[in-house]
Structure 1
């Protein structure tokens, strides 16, 4: 199947090319400064691709490497970047389809479908609370050594204990909530959550070669390594992520892999009410509902500001400061980020979607400032029409 976004150019899609050129220049500047080895960016509008570029290196040769050591590998248009928490919205979209199929309601307690999840006082936690980060167990973890054993994962998530009363706070759950969502998908479909996401969300949109939740071994060579910031001038590979088990696991809240054009296309579908290239995966009313602000102006205690949580993505809203989506974004703009490295979003009012990936996990202060600049430049390019 051909990629679902036909290639176009900014002018043809009503975009000013000058801010997009500045956006690319900023990415190149950051690579020259040693902020990250490589990156990708994509901008799309009205079902067509306005910009898709790869920069720098997907993998960096070890410092002082000689002989048979792996050389640098340039990033190209097939390079897959670790999406980190951008994966959350892909997993959430699979949950939305279960609601459309009549298998689930957003206000259902999770324990209605996974009875043993009720342990330790979790019986009343709803799907909506789970996916708006109000579940009450933000620090819970699924150990890496069991991630491929889904029976063990289910036992682990059912044994999560509460840190505060569900619904009483908004506090980002970095990984725990979406492991629960993955087990919910499996309980209701009888399928491995990775297979369900591929067959119900990614393949129908024509994105099965650009976005992965659970990266097959045949595609591991496309994966960029992910690094910590440089030490003594050298990027430091992250031990927890750069290995086959992590690639295969498809951690539902932070382990997907994708190209920037793939996620720009995914957000084209969401921003257009659930359809792309004549293929509909979700109803427009579903998208209107899941991108509402369910947490108001309540402070997310992990982020330190209101995040305007939808049932998966967050939205810009009216707060003076915005995380990742760009300060000048339209209030209805929605999306998600990946820790220290990436952000993807859609503006349904203009038909524009955006995706940026890099392969260094920077600190949040620098990353959030970087994303405000890049996202704002994309918004500045939007002309009426």
Structure 2
């Protein structure tokens, strides 16, 4: 565990990346707060620097929990093998790298069956390990295209055929540049280019000739073909290969010295291995792109092929938070970054997407999810989450396909890593010193129950504050009972930013980051029990649920006041926290 300082590789890169030590929180704005969302970009002068979690108001214990979960997944589980060979993770808040975690092996296995290499032949993960970023490469292609938009060479609303005439066939004539960037073109997810076409020229032609699977603009369908097409478009308009465009437009200005396509031989010792492939017959893949189609295109393609490190990806993330610049180098204008992080897919709920960047995806953004949160994942086991509301970045790079893509899904690890940073950020109690907090996992329930309340047969009123950050199917319900055995839901009314309209029986929500004021009328009985029940389904949780400032009154009589008497509540799955 490395909390509060950058590790050796990042420290060595300090001159290049502009990393300096700083002991105190960033001036201006509520550093370390989850419940005080920011607006706008971070100052363009923000440069990554080392610091402890405490220096920016974070709780180091939450980061440690995330580390421990990642570590556990590098050890064999019930399946007999680990979920991850190894990982490098980074947490950043307000420009401060508060956590860099390294675990497991960059090269661990000899074959696709999982035969471990002798210890002396294994290569451990390092902070400067270079990873195949897989589909995170799409972000680089998208930025290149947006740079062409800024230069007036491309318009987002123009048909792609205006720039690539050969693309405008077989029903693709109306597809626009924006539809490629937002995966609403209607193209199918992929073609077996490496298998079904003999050479690069034939493979590119196959993409140009393909028929849409859906009517363009009618649905969301994530497709590698969209970004392959955009890569070709950028090359055609500029006369330069895509790898040169990425280098001159992004990685050189940002001094991302370990980021690019087809890593040179001298960097091979730092490259993480990916899969042992038999079809096609490639053996243990290391230093070449894992994606078969990108490999068949020479390692440089719009949808895959970029290799990078956690330190370099940190710089790219901070450049986005800064509005398109880092250490005086501007790769995009602020207005372009705003457009890049705007949701163009409101017609397709659940598939929010900016220009290249995915938005508002709880399944890997975890508690950092909001309508403004941006990022991308890669099939090899990589993920980048950028949270403008808290000016935070969570990066998890793994080689989860080493030695086999069939060993399991990386999704739980991605969510856990993002949740660690979200839970390290503070939510101050609505009133008093502490509040009831629950961060139960999947398929769990937590209850907060009162003792018997004597109402004299008259109705009572309850007021409380709620802070909800979990998926819509993970709900907080208020229930009442005359005997503490049979429970019935109580209708609620909530107010506050992001609160549900009208009367509801359950509270849930993600991304609003605000306390809600909740009121309800309790049924008239001689004796009354009240409980708050938070229940989760089998997938995905956010930062968690918080309840505070509970008051139950009958007329002028106060029957329960959680601020004065927290012991009046029996907690199962809840705990009192001051942040």
Q: TM-score, normalised by structure 2?
A: 0.58
Rate the CA distance shift 1:245–1:18 in 2: closer, same or farther, 3 A. Answer: closer
Rate the CA distance shift 1:64–1:49 in 2: closer, same or farther, 3 A. Answer: closer
Following superposition, the deviation at residue 360 of structure 1 comes to: 1.3
Deviates more, 1:339-348 or 1:279-288: 339-348
Measure the CA separation in 2 of the matches of 1:70 and 1:108.
Answer: 56
Equivalent position to 1:26, from 57, 69, 93: 69
Rate the CA distance shift 1:309–1:239 in 2: closer, same or farther, 3 A. Answer: farther
Deviations 1:168-219 (A, max 9, x none): 110111x21111011011011111001100110111011132x223433433
Rate the CA distance shift 1:326–1:127 in 2: closer, same or farther, 3 A. Answer: same
Aligned-partner SS, 2:229: helix
Measure the CA separation in 1 of the matches of 2:386 and 2:162.
Answer: 33
The residue that corresponds to 1:46 in the other structure is 94
The residue that corresponds to 2:559 in the other structure is none
Aligned-partner SS, 1:121: coil
Deviates more, 1:120-129 or 1:2-11: 2-11
Give yes or no for the alignment of 1:308 onto 2:346: no
Deviations 1:137-177 (A, max 9, x none): 2234362389997655542321222212111110111x211
Measure the CA separation in 1 of the matches of 2:372 and 2:406.
Answer: 27
The residue that corresponds to 2:320 in the other structure is 270
Conserved? CA contact 2:229–2:302, under 8 Å: no
Conserved? CA contact 1:275–1:281, under 8 Å: yes
Give yes or no for the alignment of 1:279 onto 2:329: yes
Measure the CA separation in 2 of the matches of 1:64 and 1:357.
Answer: 21
The residue that corresponds to 2:122 in the other structure is 72
Rate the CA distance shift 1:227–1:238 in 2: closer, same or farther, 3 A. Answer: farther
Following superposition, the deviation at residue 291 of structure 1 comes to: 1.0
Which structure has greater strand proportion?
2
Deviations 1:101-149 (A, max 9, x none): 1111111211111111112121211111011111122234362389997
The residue that corresponds to 2:384 in the other structure is 344
Following superposition, the deviation at residue 244 of structure 1 comes to: 3.6
Give yes or no for the alignment of 1:163 onto 2:216: no
Give yes or no for the alignment of 1:60 onto 2:74: no
The residue that corresponds to 2:423 in the other structure is 380
1:9-158 aligned at under 5 Å gives the runs: 9-33=52-76, 34-62=82-110, 63=115, 71-141=121-191, 143-144=193-194, 151-158=201-208
Conserved? CA contact 2:83–2:400, under 8 Å: yes
1:252-271 aligned at under 5 Å gives the runs: 252-271=302-321
Equivalent position to 2:232, from 169, 177, 183: 183
The residue that corresponds to 2:269 in the other structure is 221
Conserved? CA contact 2:364–2:415, under 8 Å: yes
Conserved? CA contact 2:262–2:287, under 8 Å: no
Aligned-partner SS, 1:44: strand
Q: Which runs of 5+ in 2 are unaligned?
A: 1-14, 19-47, 77-81, 428-579
Conserved? CA contact 2:62–2:421, under 8 Å: yes
The residue that corresponds to 2:41 in the other structure is none
Measure the CA separation in 1 of the matches of 2:60 and 2:187.
Answer: 45
Conserved? CA contact 1:44–1:265, under 8 Å: no
Rate the CA distance shift 1:75–1:293 in 2: closer, same or farther, 3 A. Answer: same
Deviations 1:73-111 (A, max 9, x none): 111122111212111112111111111111111112111
Measure the CA separation in 2 of the matches of 1:312 and 1:151.
Answer: 25
Rate the CA distance shift 1:239–1:271 in 2: closer, same or farther, 3 A. Answer: farther
The count of aligned residue pairs is 363
Q: TM-score, normalised by structure 1?
A: 0.85
Give yes or no for the alignment of 1:3 onto 2:17: yes
Measure the CA separation in 2 of the matches of 1:265 and 1:74.
Answer: 24
Which structure has greater helix proportion?
1
1:224-235 aligned at under 5 Å gives the runs: 224-227=272-275
Conserved? CA contact 1:340–1:363, under 8 Å: no
Deviates more, 1:118-127 or 1:362-371: 362-371
Deviates more, 1:144-153 or 1:348-357: 144-153
Equivalent position to 1:355, from 392, 395, 415: 395
Bigger radius of gyration = 2
Task: Give the number of the structure with larger relative contact order, counting CA–CA contacts within 8 Å between residues 6 or more apart.
Answer: 1
Rate the CA distance shift 1:347–1:274 in 2: closer, same or farther, 3 A. Answer: same
Rate the CA distance shift 1:64–1:151 in 2: closer, same or farther, 3 A. Answer: closer
Measure the CA separation in 1 of the matches of 2:72 and 2:347.
Answer: 35
Q: Which runs of 5+ in 1 are unaligned?
A: 229-236, 300-305
Aligned-partner SS, 2:128: coil
Aligned-partner SS, 2:169: helix
Rate the CA distance shift 1:7–1:150 in 2: closer, same or farther, 3 A. Answer: farther
Measure the CA separation in 2 of the matches of 1:145 and 1:221.
Answer: 30
Conserved? CA contact 2:90–2:310, under 8 Å: yes
The residue that corresponds to 1:330 in the other structure is 370
Aligned-partner SS, 1:54: strand
Measure the CA separation in 2 of the matches of 1:70 and 1:238.
Answer: 24
Following superposition, the deviation at residue 64 of structure 1 comes to: 6.9
